[in-house]
Amino acid sequence: MKKLILATVLSSLFVLPAVQAADYVIDTQGAHAFVQFKVSHLGYSWLHGRFNTFSGTFSYDDKNLAESKISIEIDTKSVDSNHAERDKHLRSPDFLNVDKHGKATFVSTKVVPKEGANFDLVGNFTLNGVTKEITIAAAKTGEGKDPWGGYRAGFEGKTNIKLSDYGIKNILGPASETVHLDLVVEGIRQ
């Protein structure tokens, strides 16, 4: 019995503390993160664009991916489709209605691990004052030390949203109903 107690005490001394999630800030200052979109123009070609201003944080635990989380805020006024007049129209009440709803947000509610570095990021996306649950198909692209003494982790994700789900009615036909969103996130560990 003494040997069992001694073995239990000794083994508890060598148990490593549990690895906890690390907190990261999305690196938008260094332009190492992107929120991009594409939508069909009348079914004939693709309109590509991005949001130039956004911020966010995430917690990432590679040992317990399900405990990871992310929160992103997008300044919808920063929409950029490389055409000033079109961007003005995209900011209008016909589309993003930025005077009334200047921010879009995504807050994760769960992470579902998949095979390899892949996972589904489920959360609430708010656009044009409407909040809907969406799923982003995501993957870790890499992590490690950077040349400046920090530590970084990078991810990418894709999802589609329907404009009408967010109260946007000015759609140029069925082909223009779906917006394809691409997210590239590189975070600096805090």
Domains annotated for the chain, with CATH where assigned, are 19-189 (2.40.128.110)
| pLDDT at residue 20 in the model | 64
| pLDDT at residue 173 in the model | 79
| Distance in angstroms (rounded) separating the CA atoms of residues 145 and 159 | 29
**Cβ(16)–Cβ(183) below 8 Å:** no
Q: What is the mean pLDDT of each run of 10 residues along the chain (190 residues)?
A: 42 43 91 94 93 97 92 98 96 96 98 95 98 98 95 97 93 88 96
> What does DSSP assign to residue 19?
P
| pLDDT at residue 7 in the model | 43
Residue partners of 156: CB distance under 8 A and separation at least 6: 138, 139, 141, 182, 183, 184, 185
Closest CA to 37 of 97, 141, 127, 108: 127
| Distance in angstroms (rounded) separating the CA atoms of residues 168 and 152 | 37
| pLDDT at residue 33 in the model | 95
